[in-house]
Structure 1
Amino acid sequence: MKTENNKFAKAEMLIRKPVSEVFQAFINPEITSKFWFTKGSGKLEEDQSTEWTWEMYGFSLTVLTKVIKENQKIVIEWGNPDEITLVEWVFTPLDENETFVSITNSGLKGDSDKIIDQVRNSTEGFTLVLAGAKAYLEHHIQLNLVLDRFPKGLA
């Protein structure tokens, strides 16, 4: 197994909404907070830092937006200072009401066990984010998937 080629996590899903609506859901914290983090300090803007907060876990994280290509791509850096990784969203319109979203988290570091753990956790997390976004955007339902990932008493 070549670990160099496996140092990333990926989650993908079709969301039956126009690409502009799906793209906005990931750069505008007023929408993102309905399915992922509970609060953001502002919209994602290229070369700007933004703070995301998961109040249910008492956790905040600063992200640096590296790339914003309207309705096409978002790239951020995030993580602890010694473990910064890249997260890239690619938005592919399939027609006027369908968008395929691909999220890749790359630049994972550490020994094989640590990388496998990061790949597993990141893939699980971003799959929940995409499922939550799909439910919210398509059906206006907040599934609380991220909230329920670590229920009180099990976290």
Structure 2
Amino acid sequence: MKAENNHFAKAEMLIRKPVSEVFQAFINPEITRKFWFTKGSGKLEQDTTTEWTWEMYGFSLTVTTHVLQENHKIVIEWGNPDETTLVEWIFSPLNENETFVSITNSGLKGDADKIIDQVRNSTEGFTLVLAGAKAYLEHNILLNLVLDRFPKGLA
């Protein structure tokens, strides 16, 4: 039996909006800030770096965009300098008003306990991001899921 690399996290969800709208929501920080981070230094563009900030946590990181295929795929590298991972979004239009989004965070490193912790946190985080994007794009509702993930006093 072949051992498979299970050092990745994955979250997927249907968003009932055209693929172009869903894709823009993840590359344009003016939209993304409605459901994920609070500030982005600019739109994602292939072979460039961007700064994303979560002001509520006093945290920023640099994102390097490796692949940007309009309305189809985004691949970024992010994380601490010595522990970067890849995040890949695949946008699959099911019809003109429905898009299935798959997010995979790969390249997780460390011992078994550290990898399990990273898989759990990444899966949880990207599931909240997708749920927030769905609520915002489909219903114009700001759920504050990422903000409420670590309430003050518990973080």
- Whether TM exceeds 0.5 here: the answer is yes
**Number of equivalences:** 154
- Match for residue 66 of structure 1? 66
SS, match of residue 82 in structure 1: coil
TM-score by length of 1: 0.98
Match of 2:119, as an amino acid? V
Q: Take 1:19 and 1:3, find their aligned partners in 2: how far apart are those partners?
A: 35
Q: Take 1:73 and 1:46, find their aligned partners in 2: how far apart are those partners?
A: 11
Q: Take 2:138 and 2:22, find their aligned partners in 1: how far apart are those partners?
A: 10
- Superposition pairs for residues 8-47 of structure 1, below 5 Å? 8-47=8-47
Match of 1:55, as an amino acid? E
Question: Residue deviations 1:103-147, cap 9 Å, x none?
Answer: 000000000000000000000000000000000000000000000
- Match for residue 80 of structure 1? 80
Q: Take 2:106 and 2:3, find their aligned partners in 1: how far apart are those partners?
A: 12
Match of 2:151, as an amino acid? P
- Match for residue 152 of structure 1? 152
SS, match of residue 6 in structure 1: coil
Match of 1:9, as an amino acid? A
Q: Take 1:83 and 1:106, find their aligned partners in 2: how far apart are those partners?
A: 11
Q: Take 2:41 and 2:149, find their aligned partners in 1: how far apart are those partners?
A: 23
Q: Take 1:81 and 1:52, find their aligned partners in 2: how far apart are those partners?
A: 15
Check 1:34–1:3 CA distance in 2 against 1; reply closer, same or farther (3 A cut): farther
Contact 1:3/1:112, CA 8 A, preserved across alignment: no
Question: Residue deviations 1:19-59, cap 9 Å, x none?
Answer: 00000000000000000000000000000000000000000
Gap regions ≥5 residues in structure 1 = none
Q: Take 1:4 and 1:101, find their aligned partners in 2: how far apart are those partners?
A: 23
Question: Residue deviations 1:51-76, cap 9 Å, x none?
Answer: 00000000000000000000000000
Match of 2:80, as an amino acid? N
Q: Take 2:131 and 2:87, find their aligned partners in 1: how far apart are those partners?
A: 17
Match of 1:127, as an amino acid? T
SS, match of residue 77 in structure 1: strand
State the 1:4 CA deviation: 5.2
- Structure 1 stretches (4+) deviating beyond 6 angstroms? none
SS, match of residue 82 in structure 2: helix
Match of 1:88, as an amino acid? E
Q: Take 1:12 and 1:85, find their aligned partners in 2: how far apart are those partners?
A: 18
- Match for residue 91 of structure 2? 91
TM-score by length of 2: 0.98
SS, match of residue 43 in structure 2: coil
